[in-house]
Amino acid sequence: MKYIILLIISITFSSCKTPEARKPESVQSGSFYKESAARSKKLNAKESGKIEAIMSQNPEYDYVASNSGFWYRYHTKVEIDTTTASFGDVIDFNYNVKDLDGNTIYSEEELGAQQYVMDKQEIFTGLREGLKLMKPTETVTFLFPSQKAYGYYGDKNRIGTNIPLIVKVTVNNITQKTSN
């Protein structure tokens, strides 16, 4: 009986041990982020080189470098009208999408006329920024590096991972947002 009581007391005291902090299994050094940044810089340099080669092969066109990291040229430029899209405006436009080799990914006929509410709907970054530069009846060809196009994920259909794009856009109309 004494042994049973001693056993119960020892189990009781040994089970009341305070919890100890666990040590981490691995230490993050930030090397993943450094390697990722290095890969992105290398990819951007490679894509920029391809885009610059396209521009140099077409010296008859005046390409403009945007502040956002893509290039563009005008087919039709409107000098008089100063209407550009702002937040909430509806843009009616047509466009096509090609890779840097000129292979059509999505044709204008296939995509049809598009309506986009500025900054309220999803559209890839480069096209959204490009539409902000355009006026009604203008036609512009944009050269987008992959980070301004669909980036790492692609469009989950025909545009794969890290594909730079050539996009020709015609803005048909811009309907200004009406105030309530």
111 within domain boundaries: yes
10 within domain boundaries: no
* Distance separating alpha carbons of residues 148 and 70, to the nearest angstrom: 7
1 within domain boundaries: no
> CATH number, domain at 133?
3.10.50.40
* Number of structural domains found in the chain: 1
pLDDT in tens, 134-168: 999 999 999 999 999 999 899 999 999 999 999 99
Q: How many CB atoms lie within 10 A of CB 167?
A: 22
Mean pLDDT along residues 72-100: 93
Q: What percentage of the chain has pLDDT greater than the value 70?
A: 89
Decide if pLDDT at 27 tops 60: no
Give the domain range for residue 70.
41-175
151 within domain boundaries: yes
Q: Please tell me the least confidently modeled range out of 19-28, 56-65, 68-77, 156-165.
A: 19-28
Angle (CA) 56-48-164 rounded to 5° is 105
Q: What is the pTM of this model?
A: 0.80
